[in-house]
Amino acid sequence: MGGAGAGVSEFRSAHIVSSEIHWQAGAAMRFHLIDRIDRCEPGKALAASKFLALGEEYLKDHFPPFPIMPGVLMLQSCVEAASWLWRATTGFAHPVIVLRDLKQVKYGTFMQPGRRMDVTVDLTKTDGDLATFRAKGANDAGEQTVNAMFTLHGYSLTPRGPAGVAADAKLLEHWKARWALLTGALRAQ
């Protein structure tokens, strides 16, 4: 990955919004990158896992002879894990959570298909609708893949009127169902 400079240009090529990646080319790809939440201490920390399969859509272009998870998606896995920690901390008070500020991004080893990335996030500060996190990603061999500090902004669409109220309700229903799936709270009936 070549250090912090490589990640900066990669980060500028995408706009991260919750679990949606919008590439500048105009095509939207939607991913839920976190596959499992292993541990959550609301207000403190969360541990999650991302299992990288060779069949992941973005690997066909990144890079065909040597497929690796793009650095921006390793970072997005950290943002997604932090979003889950903030939802658990606030009782799902923010239907929309977006990346507000990014600092100290450092990339380590490549994430190759067939590996698991373990993501840990610590909540370091809250200030109203903003929350700051320190995140680390490491592969299943314990090698660092990504390390970053960032701030998330949470908000509701309710102030935008009836359509905002309806959108918030749908988003909250989605996030709560996804939380149940990721934490293992859903059981086969």
The set of catalytic residues is 62
**Which of these, 56, 54, 143, 62, lies nearest to 107 by C-alpha position?**
143
| DSSP SS3 for 94 | coil
Find where tokens 């990504």 sit.
146
| DSSP SS3 for 98 | strand
Contact criterion met (CB below 8 Å) for 56 and 113: yes
Cα 63 → chain centroid: 22
What is the per-residue DSSP string for 10-41?
HHHTEEEETTEEEETTS-EEE-----EEEEEE
Enter the DSSP assignment of 140.
Answer: T
Query: Which neighbouring-strand residues pair with 19?
Result: none
Enter the DSSP assignment of 59.
Answer: G
Determine phi and psi for 153, rounding to 5 degrees. -115, 125
